[in-house]
C-alpha cells in the first residue's frame, strides 16, 4: 500500500475509516460489477485495464445520476455558507441550496 501522506492533505484522520468501509476489494468488486476490468500491477496496485480514466469518470457520473445527484461543472464558487441543515452555495452562475455538498477540484 502507498502511504496516506503521499496523496492527501488535511483530512488524514478521516481516511482510515473511509478506506475501512470501502477498501480496495470493495472498489475492485464495484468496478468489475459495473463492467470495468481491473488488473493488478507487480507492486499490488490496482489499475484500470483499459488505462482510460475516462471509463471510471463515466461510470461515476452515471452512478451519481442514477442516484439523483446533480453535478455542477466549471463554476467558480464565490461563497459557501450553512443555515441550519442547508448549504447555500453562491457561484459565478447561480445560488444553490442543498442538504449535501461535495466540492471536488483537480
Read off the pTM.
0.61
Q: What is the sign, positive or negative, of the torsion defined by CA atoms of 49, 55, 61, 66?
A: negative
Specify the pLDDT at position 4: 47
pLDDT at residue 5 above 80? no
Per-residue pLDDT tens digits for 17-65: 656 677 778 888 999 999 999 998 888 888 899 999 899 989 999 999 9
pLDDT at residue 3 above 80? no
Q: Which helix (H) or strand (E) holds 81?
A: strand 77-83
Q: Which helix (H) or strand (E) holds 26?
A: helix 24-33
Specify the pLDDT at position 41: 86
Length of the chain (residues): 106
Kindly list the domain boundaries of the chain, sorted by start residue: 4-66, 72-106
Specify the pLDDT at position 11: 55
**What is the SS3 assignment for 105?**
coil
Q: Quote the radius of gyration of the chain (alpha carbons, Å).
A: 17
Cβ atoms 32, 56 nearer than 8 A: no
**What is the SS3 assignment for 16?**
helix
Amino acid at each position: 500500500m502507498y502511504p496516506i501522506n503521499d496523496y492527501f492533505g488535511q483530512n488524514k484522520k478521516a481516511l482510515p475509516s473511509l478506506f475501512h468501509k470501502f477498501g480496495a476489494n470493495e472498489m475492485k468488486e464495484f468496478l468489475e460489477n459495473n463492467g470495468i476490468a481491473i488488473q493488478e500491477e507487480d507492486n499490488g496496485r490496482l489499475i484500470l485495464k483499459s488505462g482510460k480514466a475516462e471509463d471510471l469518470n463515466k461510470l461515476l457520473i452515471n452512478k451519481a445520476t442514477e442516484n439523483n445527484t446533480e453535478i455542477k461543472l466549471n463554476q467558480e464558487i464565490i461563497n459557501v455558507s450553512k443555515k441550519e441543515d442547508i448549504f447555500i452555495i453562491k457561484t459565478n452562475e447561480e445560488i444553490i441550496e442543498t442538504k449535501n455538498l461535495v466540492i471536488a477540484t483537480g
